[in-house]
């Protein structure tokens, strides 16, 4: 695996540019993250970031909503926008020759969005429909609500917003979030593809270099929901959400944490799938995933089953999580490594994946991790490394949320 060189430049206004040249491809992708995510929303206005994200691409600079879309389509740009806890992100992929014109348009999107009043109602309606759809999908809802209970506010807020907050959000609310959040200091622009660093840097300098920095916005830490909670639902299904502490992406033990979760939930050979679903037939879906904030992490687990088998499903799931400390087979770790290496190869071939990855790396680590380094870190992992991590970070403080007819109880801790 070739070790690609990452070139970087930090502009005087605080904007960070990261470029990974990929000479073997004909495309180029970008990921622009600006610090206006849900943690910067005012209390009781969860959904203002989602509304702002949509409004920002409905006209900017000299282009109205239709003209902006037409210009981006003419460039063949495959684009997306998303809201996270820390950032609103704008991403795009196109032919390498069209990247610089696309960046010029996105400079207007972040610096001179129209935030049109006549589009506000339509955007709010779209956000409401999305939130109502999530309410009707308990598999999704249980994880959203689990975050509220295992992370402190505002990091536990849903990134898509909350239905209960929508009536309190106005266009001035959204414009105020734009004014305090969308700024160059703290913004990261990651680019990967067949591009020339000097040409990219000069273009970014010309369109974003005089973007004035503004004051950093303090984030006030609040509380979280109860560690044991139940949402009553007259349903023929029970949805189980579990969370426990893990290390964040920046921690030296992150890859050991990743491997531990992969042994639990890394495909059809994983322990949760094999024991809870296949061997015992307790549920139709079960998984665990490693989730990372800047300074803390959690393992989030889900199982969906019938009310009659819900308590047994929870008991067996918790048992499998706790049993991880008793031992791991080399074959289990080898399977996880093989899957990770395949994913790395595919990521190396995707400019979009690389642009997103280098932007994420910079936010969490203030450096970009070369793929060769990731490959080596995974390759060097031993069973002892993973077991040491698991034993040092036992799942002693489980957060449980259930949605269904009856509440469940976490089985007693292992003595």
Which sequence spans correspond to the domains of the chain? 7-208, 228-404
Residues 89, 33: contact at Cβ < 8 Å? yes
Q: What angle do CA 406, 411, 415 make, to 5 degrees?
A: 165
**What is the rounded CA–CA span in Å between residue 155 and residue 85?**
6
Closest CA to 89 of 370, 355, 364: 355
pLDDT of residue 4: 55
Residues 246, 257: contact at Cβ < 8 Å? yes
What is the largest distance, in Å, between two alpha-carbon atoms of the chain? 67
Q: How far lies 84's CA from each of 158, 258, 293, in Å?
A: 9, 21, 11
pLDDT of residue 354: 93
Q: Along the 415 residues of the chain, how does pLDDT read in single tens digits?
A: 344 589 999 999 999 999 999 998 999 999 999 999 999 999 999 999 999 999 999 999 999 999 999 999 999 999 999 999 999 999 999 999 999 999 999 999 999 999 999 999 999 999 999 999 999 999 999 999 999 999 999 999 999 999 999 999 999 999 999 999 999 999 999 999 999 999 999 999 999 999 999 998 889 999 999 999 999 998 899 999 999 999 999 999 999 999 999 999 988 889 999 999 999 999 989 999 999 999 999 999 999 999 999 999 999 999 999 999 999 999 999 999 998 888 877 777 789 999 999 999 999 999 999 888 999 999 999 999 999 999 999 998 999 999 999 999 998 753 3
Is the pTM of the predicted complex or chain greater than 0.75? yes
pLDDT of residue 112: 98
Instruction: Tell me whether domains 7-208 and 228-404 share a fold.
Output: yes
pLDDT, tens digit, 9 for 90 and up, residues 118-135: 999 999 999 999 999 999
Edge-first strand order for the sheet with 297-305 is 228-232, 399-404, 238-246, 297-305, 285-292
| 228-404 CATH choice from 3.90.105.10, 1.10.10.10, 3.40.190.10, 3.30.830.10 | 3.30.830.10
Taking the CB of residue 392, how many other CB atoms lie within 10 A of it? Answer: 11
The fold of 7-208 is: Cytochrome Bc1 Complex; Chain A, domain 1 (3.30.830)
């Amino acid at each position: 695996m070739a070790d690609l060189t990452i070139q970087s430049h930090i502009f005087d206004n605080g904007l960070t540019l990261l470029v990974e040249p990929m000479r073997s491809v004909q495309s180029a992708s970008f990921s622009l993250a600006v610090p206006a995510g849900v943690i910067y929303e005012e209390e009781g206005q969860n959904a203002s970031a989602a509304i702002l994200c949509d409004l920002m691409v409905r006209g900017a600079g000299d282009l109205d909503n239709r003209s902006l879309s037409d210009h981006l389509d003419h460039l063949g740009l495959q684009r997306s926008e998303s809201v996270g806890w820390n950032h609103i992100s704008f991403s795009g992929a196109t032919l390498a020759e069209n990247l610089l014109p696309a960046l010029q348009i996105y400079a207007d999107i972040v610096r001179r969005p129209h935030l049109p009043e006549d589009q506000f109602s339509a955007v709010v309606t779209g956000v409401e429909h999305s939130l109502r759809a999530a309410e009707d999908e308990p598999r999704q809802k249980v994880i959203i609500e689990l975050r509220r209970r295992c992370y402190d506010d505002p990091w536990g807020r849903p990134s898509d917003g909350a239905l209960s907050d929508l009536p309190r959000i106005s266009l001035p609310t959204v414009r105020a979030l734009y004014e305090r959040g969308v700024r160059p200091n703290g913004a990261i622009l990651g680019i990967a593809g067949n591009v020339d660093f000097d040409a990219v840097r000069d273009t970014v300098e010309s369109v974003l270099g005089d973007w004035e920095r503004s004051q950093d916005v303090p984030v006030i830490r609040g509380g979280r929901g109860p560690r044991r909670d139940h949402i009553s639902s007259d349903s023929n299904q029970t949805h189980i959400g579990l969370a426990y502490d893990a290390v964040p992406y920046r921690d030296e033990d992150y890859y050991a944490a990743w491997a531990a979760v992969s042994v639990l939930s890394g495909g059809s050979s994983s322990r949760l799938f094999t024991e809870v679903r296949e061997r015992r037939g307790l549920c139709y879906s079960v998984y665990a995933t490693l989730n990372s904030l800047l300074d803390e992490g959690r393992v989030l687990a889900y199982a969906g089953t019938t009310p009659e088998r819900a308590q047994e499903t929870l008991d067996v799931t918790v048992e499998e999580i706790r049993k991880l400390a008793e031992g791991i087979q080399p074959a289990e770790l080898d399977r996880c490594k093989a899957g990770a290496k395949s994913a790395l190869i595919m990521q190396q071939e995707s400019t979009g994946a690389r642009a997103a990855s280098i932007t994420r790396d910079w936010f969490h680590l203030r450096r970009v991790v070369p793929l060769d380094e990731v490959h080596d870190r995974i390759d060097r992992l031993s069973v002892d490394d993973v077991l040491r991590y698991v034993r040092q970070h036992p799942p002693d403080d489980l957060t449980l949320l259930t949605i269904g007819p009856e509440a469940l109880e976490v089985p007693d801790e292992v003595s």
